[in-house]
Amino acid sequence: MRHTGRIMNVLPSHLLPDTATLATNGSLSIGGVDLLEIAAEFGTPVFVYDESHLRARCAEAVDAFPGGVAYATKAFLCRAMAELAVESGMKLDVATGGEIHLALAAGARAERLVFHGNNKSSAEIAMAIDVGVGTMVVDSFDEIDRIEAIVRATKERPVRCLLRVTPGIEAHTHEYIRTGHDDSKFGFGFNSGQARAALERVRSSSEITFGGIHAHIGSLIFDVDAFEKEVEILAAFVLESGASELCIGGGLGVPYVAGETAPTISEWGAAVHAAATTAGIPDSVAITAEPGRSIVAGAAVTLYTVGTIKERADVPAYVAVDGGMHDNPRPALYGSDYEAFLPRAPFVHRERRARVVGMNCESSDVLVRDASIPNDTVVGDVLATPVTGAYGYAMASNFNRIPRPPVVFVRDGDVRLVLRRETYDDLLLLETSP
Ligand SMILES: *Cc1c(COP(=O)(O)O)cnc(C)c1O
């Protein structure tokens, strides 16, 4: 997947957010704002999201899934993002009490929330029922017991539920983000007969209204085949269960590095609907989805400043920046790959091989293992990694007690600070001793 040819050493522009353009001074602008100005004003590291890109992907998803579509908030959640998704007509997929709290704080209506999780606590289920979450995706028999007990105790209305089914598909993706295979901690096994047993259980429940079937086969899937297979496997069960909804989950991949391509959200939707028709699922069954990564990943770039460069004989130089695994743990967690470029000269040949590392005190703290950067890269340069809108900030930590970076949204020449940079004093917020 990694290209070393001279031509491929130019950053492919499709990895940049939709509104990326060259400013007259040769540097890169997003949303009409020069990235170097953002770095100067807000400092580095900083996450820069192209708001038009986010809105375009949300609109595309709403069009692609007329039956309904939820934004999977775990990919990137803050108030501004939840508001944007809700304004675009998306529901919100949440999986914890914290995500429910944030979604409601952003003004989302509880009935537009879809509540996931393989181990929802009684407190979280009670919270969801109390605020009126629209749909719960039940994942275990223990959870069914808990929902029933809480509905009985609070004399609330029955809860609308989808059954999460594990269809037994080995999606071709990293094992940590594969979720549809038989040996998965998620859902009721389809091949083991658990899904049928759960259906009987839910149907005979007076505290649960059966809404339909849900499956999520994994993340970063680059081929619509896996989703077509999912629909094909589940079709008979959908029909016999009388489901009014089949949710196919999220998981559509996005290109991260040169040479990678992925289907668009529209192509994904078309393939899934065609597969449903072929499998005999009538139009009366709503086909729904819950994309996360494909909505937000390509919308953002992260800006860093190069602090030190260590030349090494015959191996790539260590180029250390002022961020690291605390703002983007994906390379350390999954061995994920990124590109790197200099916003001051984004499309020049990048002839120098480098390993872009962070400032955390451990060796897994790599941001780009095998980067190509321009020969004239120097200490003090702003260096950017594209396609960092998903599972970057969302998984950021305070490892090494480093304050988390700010997040800005750019649009039509304006910069909006949506999450400020953490301060050293923020790091003391949880301390109980004075
Ligand atoms: C993570 C997750 C998603 C979103 O996955 P992406 O790969 O970000 O699209 C959707 N549904 C469920 C149940 C998930 O766990």
Active site residues: 361
Query: What are the DSSP calls for 294-334, one per residue?
Result: HHHGGGEEEEEEEEEEE--SSSPEEEEES--TTT--HHHHH
The residue to which tokens 């960092």 are assigned: 388
Closest atom of ligand 1 to 164 CA is 13
pLDDT at residue 413 is higher than 90: yes
**What does the angle CA 317 – CA 323 – CA 329 come to, to the nearest 5 degrees?**
95
Query: What are the DSSP calls for 52-103, one per residue?
Result: HHHHHHHHHHHHH-TT-BEEEGGGS--HHHHHHHHHTT-EEEE-SHHHHHHH
pLDDT in tens, 13-30: 999 999 999 988 999 999
**What does the angle CA 13 – CA 14 – CA 19 come to, to the nearest 5 degrees?**
80
Separation CA 161–CA 120 (nearest Å): 14
Closest atom of ligand 1 to 249 CA is 11
Going by CA atoms, what residue is nearest to atom 10 of ligand 1?
Answer: 250
N-terminal to C-terminal alpha carbon distance within the chain: 53
3-state secondary structure of 169: coil
Distance 77 CA to ligand 1 centre (A): 13
Going by CA atoms, what residue is nearest to atom 15 of ligand 1?
Answer: 216
Closest atom of ligand 1 to 221 CA is 7
The pocket around ligand 1, CB under 6 angstroms, is made up of 72, 74-75, 93, 116, 216, 219, 249-252, 290-294
DSSP at 41 = H
Q: Is the pTM for the entire model greater than 0.85?
A: yes
pLDDT in tens, 45-103: 999 999 999 999 999 999 999 999 999 999 999 999 999 999 999 999 999 999 999 99
The residue to which tokens 């297979």 are assigned: 229
Separation CA 96–CA 265 (nearest Å): 26
pLDDT at residue 176 is higher than 90: no
Of 44, 45, 55, nearest to 17 (Cα)?
55
pLDDT tier at 6, thresholds 50, 70, 90:
very low
Of 369, 254, 379, 394, nearest to 304 (Cα)?
379
Average pLDDT over residues 290-294: 98
Q: Tokens representing 116?
A: 């996931």
pLDDT in tens, 241-257: 999 999 999 999 999 99
**What does the angle CA 422 – CA 426 – CA 428 come to, to the nearest 5 degrees?**
150
Distance 251 CA to ligand 1 centre (A): 5
Q: Tokens representing 164?
A: 């999460």
Mean pLDDT, the chain, integer? 95
What is residue 2's predicted lDDT score, i.e. its pLDDT? 46
Of 133, 128, 126, nearest to 150 (Cα)?
126
pLDDT tier at 171, thresholds 50, 70, 90:
low
Distance 54 CA to ligand 1 centre (A): 17
Distance 289 CA to ligand 1 centre (A): 9
Mutational test site, ligand 1, from 60, 116, 166, max ligand atoms within 8 Å of CB: 116
Separation CA 200–CA 196 (nearest Å): 6
